Amino acid sequence: MLNRFLIITMLLLWLTHISHSQKQFSDLLFYDVDVHLLDGKAEATLDSLIHRFYSYNDYKLQIIGHADALGSQEYNKTIAAKRAATVEQYLTAAGIPKNKITVISKGSDDPLENERFAHIEGGDRRVEIISTADVFSNIDELLDQLGPQMQYVTIDNSIDQNITLQDGTDIFIPAKCIVYADGSGEVNGLVTLEVKESYDVIDFVAEDLHTKTADEMLQTGGMIYINAKANNKQVGIKTGQMLDITYPEKAIAKDMSLYEAVPTAEGVSWTLTDGEISTASEELAEADLDISILLDVEIESPTMPEIEFGIMPKIPVVPAKPSKPKKPKLPSEDDKNYQSKLAKYEKSIKVFEKRMKTYEELKLNYETVKPRAESELKMWELEVEDRMTKIKRYEKEMKDYTCDSKLSNALAYVQENYGSIPSTEVFKTFKEMVYTDVEVQNIKDPYAAAFGNFKKQVLRRKKIRKDYLNYHSYSRKSKFNRIIKPLIEEIEAQNMEKIMAKSKEIKDGDLDRYMFSVGSFGYHNVDKPIEYAPEEMLELAISDDANGTKYYVVLKDSQSVIAPQFKGDSYALEGLPKNHDVLIVGVKLVDSIPHMAVSDFNTGRDDVYALNMDFEETNLRGIRSELESLNEYAGI
């Protein structure tokens, strides 16, 4: 007898090569009678399948529910659909995008005839998961999945604009600074900026950005890529104009310089530019800051939005279609005990006739009531949609109210305490107020207001999980970027001048961010050389004859990632410092499956080292997790 839920893990040989870059799999889950839920064994099988998906470039899958032929056709369709839906819910909850999944219920229409499953009792009670996977054709395709996503920002070239990217980079674009690269003049209208932020080890690896020039290693504070197009044409920065870029706090140190990317046969190298870098610090000068520019700023105090609804009508009930009674069968004269059966038939036929009369009445009522009930249900659904629209508008108004309240309260604090409290203290508190999330108390639950006692039913019907509002955190709105942030930067710039005038230097730990200007597009890097004496350098060789493996050497606490180069039968790296802790990471494909090796290593005092790396199968999640953990190791 099967267990309550019997699973046979069928990671079958892929059924067919669809192309050189695709594989197809079929996975089967088998069920006991009247069972559609997952247990631990089922989840383990699906976890293995999920792990496989993260080993490929892309994938699509079909979840097909099946049933045996024991139940009615309607029941079989229902139980098969439930089985497929439960599998879909598990996969999507684990992070598989819903748009990659197709769900089908075949009921008992497609029995399993394969001889390999003939011994399985109830083999037709199953879910089949057919997946088509695009494999990685090379290691660069794999790493592209890990790297920073390109961000696209549309700007108007006719006005000054300041944009803030996902990782906190700020870019100021002066008006009319963008021109067509073919020399046809200034861009009149919209420009699309293409930007990538690379501040972490995983970004450096994925983008193949090594922190090394031709003759020295670099300690990096981060890299940023900028390009732009207008009307599908390449554009550039007008001669004499500059984009102002501000890095967020990542791995900042003093005395860094600006480098530009230079393509070479061995990948990206860096060349020093004459661009100047300025720095900002959280340290405040002892002398009072001049924060008087905040006194004249006015942001209208917002009013908390309200939301009101009338009484929600009950959900109209569409009547069920009445079942026609089954007419008794007249016994045959040849039947044994014919007279007794005939007497029973005559009684049954009278009951049947009464039931038929009732049925006809119910049918007439059903045919009369059903259209009206369906019409009422449609009206009820429209009422729900109207109220949902009001709720969404209310939520947006509440978010705007929360953002505006924060800015208004912060400005009120400055204006109330200016002159009575030292300006440095007022400014610190002001920054905390505008940069820190605030919680709005006593927020009305709009779902309860809209639907009253029917709230749970509506949320369930509409598949809405969020039934309350939470504004503990939210993104900063345009008023902050447009009004407050420029004032903060102006005050801090004045403060920096006072610190420099007094101390002539800024300590590494006091640095908050870099600010610099660029006059060209491409990759820009804020770095400084790591200086080692020539006699303190060694050569590292990694035994590997597979041209295509990617190796990265991460120096401990050095904010530096460098890459060995393939030399015929091994990977060589010259100029590695002696007596230094490093992590060596290797990534490659074996039969299109990602493999990874990590070696913790101290360079010691010898001049030459040869290493063998032990690779193990992994997937995108495993590689991403390993690389992200290296940030702390590298001091980033």
434: helix, coil or strand?
Answer: helix
Residue 58, beta-bridge partner list: 134
pLDDT at 191: 93
| Crossing angle of helices 73-93 and 40-53, rounded to 10° | 60
Q: How confident is the model at residue 509 (pLDDT cuts 50, 70, 90)?
A: very low
Number of H helices and E strands in the chain, helices first, is: 12, 26
Distance CA 143, CA 141 (A): 6
Nearest to 242 by CA among 180, 173, 159: 173
For 404-473, strand residue ranges (E) read none
Q: Which range (100-109, 570-579, 602-611) has the least confidence? A: 602-611
**What pLDDT score does 279 carry?**
60
For 159-181, what is the mean pLDDT?
87
pLDDT at 252 over 60: no
Please, which residues have CB within 8 angstroms of residue 137's CB and are 6 or more apart in sequence?
20, 21, 592
- Three-class SS state of 192: strand
Give this prediction's pTM. Answer: 0.56
Burial (CB count within 10 angstroms: exposed 0-12, middle 13-18, buried 19+), residue 608: exposed
The HSE-up count of residue 419 (CA atoms within 13 Å, CB side) is: 4
Query: In the structure encoding, which two tokens stand for residue 374, read together?
Result: 């369906």
Give residue 510's pLDDT. Answer: 47
What digits encode the pLDDT tens for the residues 393-437? Answer: 887 788 778 878 888 888 989 989 988 888 888 888 888 888 765
String of b and e for 567-597 (b: at least 16 CB within 10 Å)? eeeebebeebbbebebbbbbbbbeebebbbb
pLDDT for position 129 = 92
In tens, the pLDDT along 524-558 reads 888 888 877 766 778 888 888 887 898 999 888 88
Report residue 229's pLDDT band, with 50, 70 and 90 as the boundaries: very high
Residue 506 scores a pLDDT above 50: no
Q: Tell how strand 170-173 and strand 522-530 pair up.
A: unpaired
Q: Which pLDDT does position 8 carry in this prediction?
A: 39
Backbone angles phi, psi at 573, to 5 degrees: -135, 115
Residue 331 pLDDT exceeds 90? no
Q: What is the pLDDT of residue 18?
A: 44
For 271-312, the pLDDT digits (tens) are: 888 776 766 554 544 455 788 888 888 887 788 888 888 888
Smallest CA-to-CA distance from 390 within 401, 380, 398 is with 398
Of 444, 437, 364, the C-alpha closest to 407 is 437
CA 84 to CA 65: how far, in whole Å?
5
Identify the residue whose tokens are 């990874």: 596
Strands 101-105 and 58-65: parallel
Q: Which residues pair with 195 in a beta bridge?
A: 151, 226
Average model confidence (pLDDT) for the chain? Answer: 80
Strand, coil or helix: what is 175? Answer: coil
pLDDT at 291: 86
Mean pLDDT of 359-382: 86
- Among 236-240, 439-443, 446-450, 613-617, the least confident range: 439-443
3-state secondary structure 370-419: HHHHHHHHHHHHHHHHHHHHHHHHHHHHHHHHHHHHHHHHHHHHHHHHEC
Specify the higher pLDDT residue, 465 or 189: 189
Residues of the chain by 3-state class (helix, strand, coil), percent to 5: 35, 25, 40
Q: Which of 22-26, 28-32, 175-179, 299-303 has the highest mean pLDDT?
A: 175-179
| pLDDT exceeds 60 at position 323 | yes
Please tell me which residue, 170 or 12, carries the higher pLDDT value.
170
Q: How confident is the model at residue 499 (pLDDT cuts 50, 70, 90)?
A: low
Average pLDDT estimate for 236-260: 79
| Predicted pLDDT at 237 | 93
CA distances from 602 to 211, 540, 560, 609, 611 (A): 20, 11, 16, 10, 12
Q: Where are the beta strands (DSSP E) in 8-106?
A: 22-30, 58-65, 101-105
pLDDT confidence of residue 547: 78
Q: Could you tell me which residue, 120 or 564, shows the higher pLDDT?
A: 564
pLDDT at residue 230, rounded to an integer: 93
**Distance, CA of 47 to CA of 90 (rounded, Å):** 9
DSSP summary character for residue 335: S
Q: Higher model confidence: residue 18 or residue 614?
A: 614
pLDDT tens for each residue of 433-478: 887 655 555 567 788 888 888 887 787 777 665 544 544 444 445 5
The Cα angle at residue 616 between residues 613 and 618, in degrees rounded to 5: 135
Q: Is the pLDDT of residue 122 over 70?
A: no
Taking the CB of residue 482, how many other CB atoms lie within 10 A of it? 11
Residue 562's nearest CA partner among 516, 512, 527, 591 is 527
More confident of the two residues 235 and 169: 235
Hey, how many other C-beta atoms are within 10 angstroms of the C-beta on 561? Answer: 27
At residue 280, the pLDDT reads 55
Q: Mean pLDDT across the stretch 166-176?
A: 86
Cβ-contact 470, 439 below 8 angstroms: no
Which residues face 233 on adjacent strands? Answer: 230
pLDDT of residue 160: 84
Tell which residue, 177, 180, 130, has the closest CA to residue 156: 177
* Domains observed in the chain: 22-135 (3.30.1330.60), 145-285+511-530 (2.60.220.30), 286-505 (no CATH), 534-634 (2.60.40)
Instruction: Give pLDDT, residue 608.
Output: 65
Return the percentage of the chain with pLDDT > 90, whole number.
10
Contact 523, 224 (CB under 8 A): yes
pLDDT at 117: 55
Q: List the structure tokens of 337.
A: 């005990």
In this structure, what token pair is assigned to residue 252? 């900042």
